Amino acid sequence: MSKQILIVDDDPKIAQLVEIYLLNEGYSVRKAGDGLQALELIEREPVDLVILDIMMPGLDGLGVCLRIRERRTTPILMISAKDGDMDKITGLMTGADDYMVKPFNPLELVARVKSLLRRTYYQTQPQPPQQEHLIRIQSLVIDKLTHSVQIDGRPIKLTPIEFGILHLLASQPGRVFSSEDIFETIWKEKYYESNNSVTVHMSRLRDKLVKEMDGEKLIHTVWGVGYKIEA
């Protein structure tokens, strides 16, 4: 069954262009012209990924992203006409998994969609039965097969990117991972120095863990080097 992609954009020409490219790749596509319509559709139908424009009348993309993240970890690719670093950081901080600036190359957008879907749904692929899939550190339990995280038995809602970062660090306790290591492992792309994606996602992940662990810090910063989870 093909993955269903929701395009949320008040510009019908852009939405139609993106739809054509996604249909050519075999995806199912739904479209929404504003934020409220998008939220209503998500409540009615299963959606595997959302392509979300920021600048929309009424409820904008940032508001939609926040509402989605209240209940779902559906991957979100945010698009915007604004290309400033703060705009990108704001988009990622509200819960987006990736960010593109208009005008964009539709082929690059399709590649980003494929990458997000691979990272999100790889856990549904058959795994060798002998593979160790559980990681336990203190009260934290990470299950790679179900893509789930628990602390003291309580499920913790993480986005696919946050889960990937946590699993990477926890898989080798004590090792320090640089931002470059993390980015190239999780995003599967070449790292460049001005990229702040790791910093933003790491901040969100740490905030969630600290809140659930009563202030205890699981992920530590090694200044000038990177991040680690203590052995």
* Residues 6+ away with beta carbon under 8 Å from 151: 139, 140, 141, 209, 212, 213
pTM (2 d.p.): 0.65
* pLDDT value, residue 145: 84
- 83 and 140 share one domain: no
On whether residue 40 sits in a domain, the answer given is yes
Task: Please tell me the distance from the alpha carbon of residue 73 to that of residue 66, in angstroms, as a whole number.
Answer: 11
Contact 131, 170 (CB under 8 A): no
Task: Please tell me the distance from the alpha carbon of residue 28 to that of residue 48, in angstroms, as a whole number.
Answer: 10
Average pLDDT for runs of 10 along the chain of length 231: 91 95 95 94 94 92 93 91 76 88 91 86 48 78 89 89 93 90 88 79 91 86 89 63
Contact 116, 98 (CB under 8 A): yes
The CA–CA distances, whole Å, from 171 to 11, 136, 137, 149, 150 equal 43, 10, 10, 13, 16
* pLDDT value, residue 121: 66
* pLDDT value, residue 181: 92
User: Which of 124, 147, 172 lies at the terminal end of a domain, its last residue?
Assistant: 124
- Quote the distance between the C-alpha of residue 94 and its chain's center: 11
User: Which of 98, 124, 150 lies at the terminal end of a domain, its last residue?
Assistant: 124
- 55 and 165 share one domain: no
On whether residue 129 sits in a domain, the answer given is no
The CA–CA distances, whole Å, from 222 to 48, 67, 72 equal 36, 34, 32
Counted domains in the chain = 2
Backbone angles phi and psi of 23, in degrees to 5: -65, -35
Count of other CB atoms within 10 angstroms of residue 198: 22
58: containing domain? 4-124
- 115 and 11 share one domain: yes
Strand partners, 7: 31, 51
* Residues 6+ away with beta carbon under 8 Å from 50: 5, 6, 8, 38, 42, 68, 74, 75, 76, 77
- 117 and 201 share one domain: no
- 19 and 119 share one domain: yes
